[in-house]
Structure 1
Amino acid sequence: MLSVLIRQSRPLLAAAALASVVSGVCSVLLLAQINEALTAGAAASVALAWRFAAFAVSAMLARMLSSVLFERLGQRAHAELRSFISRRVIDADFARLEQVGGPRVQSALSEHTSNVADFFVSLPAMLVNAIIVSGCLVYMAWLSWQVFLAAAVVIGLGSLGYHLAHLRAIRHLNEASKEQDRLFGHFRSLIEGAKELRLHAGKRLRFAGGLLGASIETVRRERTRGMSIFAVSAAWGNFLVYAFIGLVLFMLVGDVPDRMRIMTGFSLVFVFMVAPLEALLLLLPRASLARVSAERIEEIAQALQHDTAAVAATPQPPAFRSLSLEGVRHRYYHEGTDDLFTLGPISLDFAPGQLNFLVGGNGSGKTTLAKLLVGLYRPEQGVVRLNGEAVDEAGRDRYRQCFSAIFSDFHLFEQLLDAPGTERDAQGNALLAKLNLQHKVQVRDGAFTTRALSQGQRKRLALVVAYLEDRPFLVFDEWAADQDPVFKEVFYRELLPELKALGKTVLVISHDDRYFSLADRVIRLENGRIVESGAPAAPVPAAGLVAAS
């Protein structure tokens, strides 16, 4: 993942890296000028001053340029990673997306992308400090290669210790990263389960301490251990630097020509190198965090299996004349039995202008059948035919455009996401008035003025969206469950007959048996199999049709 981002930003990265190199080289040259000024005579001070000023200005300008360029790189990387993950989520097979889960995706979009972006932002400091440290080593070798060898041994010991510590720290950071995904799931429960937590003190305490608190503590503990190892190893390296300065001052440099110049140079170089070396050692964990996060993003991206049926263009809904399921089967994990649940074989036919009720007990497979019907799930066996033709992978996305569905876990977007216009706003507001929502929400420029409504009201907004989409087949999964009796009557006795009169095919998942007689067909499902499919026992004429707009 990191290599892909680097390749995509190669020109900008090269320019930023070059600016960092110039900044680091100028910083080392500044050090050389300082050392020379300490031992040079007054005659050379003017030339040294001009060179010092030139190197100082050059280092400043190069550092500014590299920081700006790397900031742009970081923000671009952040945006590209979020776009990449979003595209993978949009293109992912729906069943696979359910298995991966929202918390892992949210963690990737927030925590992991930020870590990778921070790595790019910290790159200029890492490069500059690395160049300063390297330049200081070269300058020390020029001053005295014998003393430089001793310095290399000291730095080698420090690097070896840091490397071993680095390997141990990475293990802790990996554990923290994995727990972070679970923590996002607990954060989601903290908001969505607020009512339940307040109604049950024992549940609240166990959630806060046993789940949420434990997860927060695990992330804190593992990250603290990982970063603490980095900090300890950095302090060890810092100690070695000062230990070497003591060796240079008191043991290593004997009675040699230019003894004062060598001692001053080495001491000055090591004092100058302490801050960049320490900063470099502290910045390296960001690279490690970025690598861990990039691996997590890549892991999630690979888990989000691409939906080969999804297409980039917007396919028009095909003409709808008939739809049939022929021996369709699908298996999934069933929590109630702690085993794989088999839905099917299912054989059904649907026609335009047909009102169908799908009924059955909880866990009988009603919602799964609806998701199979609309193309969100693929049948493991059997064939789905639209207008007599089998729906294959290439045509599955186009097939899905026949449907509008309101499932029990529906989502309301803030915009209608269709072509906005005055006519669309007027149609939406007319439907809102029919559903008695006109005083709470309006449609303006293709967007709802608010979504802060009760669950029943939000379902009515979802119904408005389904109406405006004008698809030939509509699926309602327990739509009326959150409605009061007045709106149940409106839904069953006005809206459903109206949709039928418009030639729409409707599948209603419902437990409201008092309205079953309104259906053209009642399909009863038990343990994943159809046990009854036919006209209701006592059909009654449909009541009062109301115009759509």
Structure 2
Amino acid sequence: MRGEGSFRCIWGSDTPQRPSMFSLLSLLLRRSRTSMIVIAVTGIFSGLCNSALLALISHALGTDQSTLKTLLVGFIALSVGVLVGNTVPELLLAKVSRSITAELRLKLGRSILVAPYRRLEIIGKGPVLAALSQDVQAIVNIASKIPGLIVCTTIVLGCLGYMAWLSPRGMMLVLPAMTLLVVFYYFATRKMVPLWREERDTQDDLFREQQQVLDGIKELKLHEPRRRAFMEEDYAPAVERTRLKGMHAAISVALMGSFVHFFTWLVLGVMLFGVFALSAHDTDATRGYVLSLMYMWGPFRGLLEDVGRWPQVSIALDKLQQLELSLTESLTEEPSAPAALALPADGRQEVVVESATYAFSDAGEEAAFRVGPIDLALRSGELVFVVGGNGSGKTTMARLLTGLYTPRSGQLLWNGVPVTDQNRDAYRNTFSAIFTDFHLFENLRGVDLAPLQGRVQEYLRLFELDTKLQVVNGRFSTTSLSTGQRKRLAMVVALLEDKPFYLFDEWAADQDPEFREVFYRRLLPELAARGKGVLVITHDDRYFHLAHRVIKLELGKTVAAAPASAA
């Protein structure tokens, strides 16, 4: 995953590094150089117009009535300039920042899709959802302030220039005071970075707990002691940790803002009652300085606060980088398009699991359960049942067979060719599978329905779903069905996909007896007769005689593989 579509290098470097605000600016310039130049130019123009308005107002306060009409024309012109200078960059950046947001989310989505399945299981939904929402939104929020930063910077510089023109002596107080504020803000912000990082880390835990609430709402509603314990011991503490970290950061920001506010008025008081009060002939300069400081205070404070939040962009980008690197941790170089393998001349295919093992030894897991060695073959036109007790490794075996897990040792063979990173995606696409934790999409993407309309209705009638829903423009009219009905609808989708191999993990467990009969006595034999290789994980021993072979797993190992008659 190293190509142009990779999320890994959003800041334009092939080498992982700690990103910063300048990484975001570089990204904006690379993606929309012309727009960013226009934003900068119009922002500076707006700031100059603001500064000129200040000078004009200061001059108008000390002038006679004869020049007010001329000054009014200038005032109106500068006001229009401020309007244009503020509006244009805001509109442009709204477009640019949303485009960057869409790009970040698309690249993160692609990283998720190509990530090893086991990595996604380990990472969990919490960090992924936090990245897609919190981190991307943080980047947008800071990026949206760029026009304001340009305007505020120009206003501050313009006001300083105007004050220097009024009285160079006064700048001997203003510049050191502002420098002191900037230094204070810099070191205070550095102290806050760990707080912001800790606050962001707690959000991963909070998203995990929120996911638990949504996924386990039925169980929580039916078990009051569990619900109470979950809220008191899991959810509430996660919320409290996030609140405390966020509160500490917010208090620090508020204190810094208050200090800047106080210090600005302190400088203003010293200027008004100290430096210029000593010289009566400096009345105009005093008035100009007072107006300039009051006018500049808002932009200067906003400038400090916005620049002080730049580390939050670094934290968000860093989180995105960490997530992306974690997702692709075990990926090797992937081709730009999945490699395809030539089919045998007779069209009959075979997949073989050869001495494959898999161990759950990732961080945070006990390496107590090891699956394998597993030896298994599935051929076109063959119906194979896999049996075994709970925890015997059936589901892990199924994920190995379908290519979702990569064997730690041993190998997968597809028509005699080893399955590698280069052809794994093509191999996985030979399977249609319904796992116990299947997801039912609302649409039939990837299936050409035009020639299949008759078959769609046939399958819906077969599973008694034709009165429950319709397929309209490639979408199911509803997926709000019972568990058994959802599984039958998932079967309709799998049959329409028409893949060479099928895997069904306890599909019949939630079905009424009549649909079990349809599944075992009609559907499975028909699939095998059509040349499909079918593997069924099941406990229904009354149907074992229908299989060509029955394979038994115990403690993660294949302990029996015999014809159905011998099972």
Same fold, TM-score > 0.5, yes or no: yes
Deviation, structure 1 residue 469: 0.7
Q: For the Cα contact (< 8 Å) 1:416–1:446, is it kept in 2? A: yes
The residue number in structure 1 matching 2:4 is none
SS of equivalent to 1:418: coil
Change (3 A) 1:118 1:498: same
Which stretch shifts more, 388-397 or 109-118? 388-397
1: CA distance between counterparts of 2:249 and 2:365? 42
The answer on 1:502 being equivalent to 2:525 is no
Structure 1 residues 119-130: aligned runs within 5 Å: 119-130=142-153
1:48 to 71, 77, 82: 71
SS of equivalent to 1:339: coil
The residue number in structure 2 matching 1:544 is none
The residue number in structure 1 matching 2:474 is 446
Q: For the Cα contact (< 8 Å) 1:165–1:230, is it kept in 2? A: no
The residue number in structure 1 matching 2:383 is 355
2:176 to 132, 148, 153: 153
1: CA distance between counterparts of 2:550 and 2:449? 39
Change (3 A) 1:146 1:312: farther
Unaligned runs of 5+ in 2: 1-10, 12-23
SS of equivalent to 1:363: coil
Change (3 A) 1:172 1:7: same
Change (3 A) 1:109 1:291: same
Q: For the Cα contact (< 8 Å) 2:209–2:235, is it kept in 1? A: yes
SS of equivalent to 1:438: coil
The answer on 1:280 being equivalent to 2:308 is no
| Cα deviations by residue, 1:333-378 (Å, 9 ceiling, x for unpaired) | 4999932432222222222111111111222221111111111122
The answer on 1:168 being equivalent to 2:196 is no
The answer on 1:521 being equivalent to 2:549 is yes
1:38 to 42, 58, 61: 61
Q: For the Cα contact (< 8 Å) 2:117–2:405, is it kept in 1? A: yes
SS of equivalent to 1:405: strand
The size of the alignment, in residue pairs, is: 539
2: CA distance between counterparts of 1:309 and 1:171? 37
Change (3 A) 1:151 1:90: same
Deviation, structure 1 residue 226: 0.9
Structure 1 residues 76-91: aligned runs within 5 Å: 76-91=99-114
Structure 1 residues 220-231: aligned runs within 5 Å: 220-231=243-254
The residue number in structure 1 matching 2:161 is 138
TM-score, reference length from structure 2:
0.90
| Cα deviations by residue, 1:144-169 (Å, 9 ceiling, x for unpaired) | 22221211222222223322322233
Deviation, structure 1 residue 69: 1.0
Structure 1 residues 228-243: aligned runs within 5 Å: 228-243=251-266
The answer on 1:341 being equivalent to 2:364 is no
The residue number in structure 2 matching 1:436 is 464
Deviation, structure 1 residue 130: 2.3
Deviation, structure 1 residue 403: 0.7
Change (3 A) 1:57 1:314: farther
2:235 to 188, 212, 217: 212
Q: For the Cα contact (< 8 Å) 2:338–2:422, is it kept in 1? A: no
The answer on 1:489 being equivalent to 2:489 is no
SS of equivalent to 2:385: strand
The residue number in structure 1 matching 2:434 is 406
Deviation, structure 1 residue 257: 7.4
Q: For the Cα contact (< 8 Å) 1:524–1:533, is it kept in 2? A: yes
Which stretch shifts more, 161-170 or 357-366? 161-170
Deviation, structure 1 residue 325: 2.1
SS of equivalent to 1:189: helix
Q: For the Cα contact (< 8 Å) 1:227–1:285, is it kept in 2? A: no
Aligned-residue sequence identity (percent) comes to 36
Q: For the Cα contact (< 8 Å) 2:166–2:285, is it kept in 1? A: yes
Deviation, structure 1 residue 280: 2.9
Amino acid at match of 1:491: F
| Cα deviations by residue, 1:85-113 (Å, 9 ceiling, x for unpaired) | 11111122222222222221111111211
SS of equivalent to 1:179: helix
The residue number in structure 2 matching 1:545 is none
Amino acid at match of 1:407: F
Which stretch shifts more, 282-291 or 182-191? 282-291
The residue number in structure 2 matching 1:416 is 444
| Cα deviations by residue, 1:465-508 (Å, 9 ceiling, x for unpaired) | 11011111101111122222222222122211111111111111
SS of equivalent to 1:356: strand
Deviation, structure 1 residue 310: 7.0
| Cα deviations by residue, 1:44-103 (Å, 9 ceiling, x for unpaired) | 434433332222211111111111111112211221111111111112222222222222
Change (3 A) 1:264 1:316: farther
| Cα deviations by residue, 1:123-154 (Å, 9 ceiling, x for unpaired) | 22222122212222222222222221211222
Which stretch shifts more, 375-384 or 78-87? 375-384
Deviation, structure 1 residue 43: 4.5
1: CA distance between counterparts of 2:546 and 2:313? 59
Taking only aligned residues, the RMSD between alpha carbons, in angstroms, comes to: 2.3
SS of equivalent to 2:564: coil
Amino acid at match of 1:371: R
Which stretch shifts more, 480-489 or 443-452? 480-489
Change (3 A) 1:95 1:146: same
1: CA distance between counterparts of 2:362 and 2:153? 56
1:370 to 370, 373, 398: 398
Amino acid at match of 1:162: Y
Change (3 A) 1:139 1:320: farther
The residue number in structure 2 matching 1:547 is none
Amino acid at match of 1:26: C
Change (3 A) 1:420 1:347: closer
Q: For the Cα contact (< 8 Å) 2:353–2:377, is it kept in 1? A: yes
The residue number in structure 2 matching 1:17 is 40
2: CA distance between counterparts of 1:253 and 1:431? 91
Change (3 A) 1:395 1:422: closer
2: CA distance between counterparts of 1:147 and 1:69? 39
Unaligned runs of 5+ in 1: 540-549
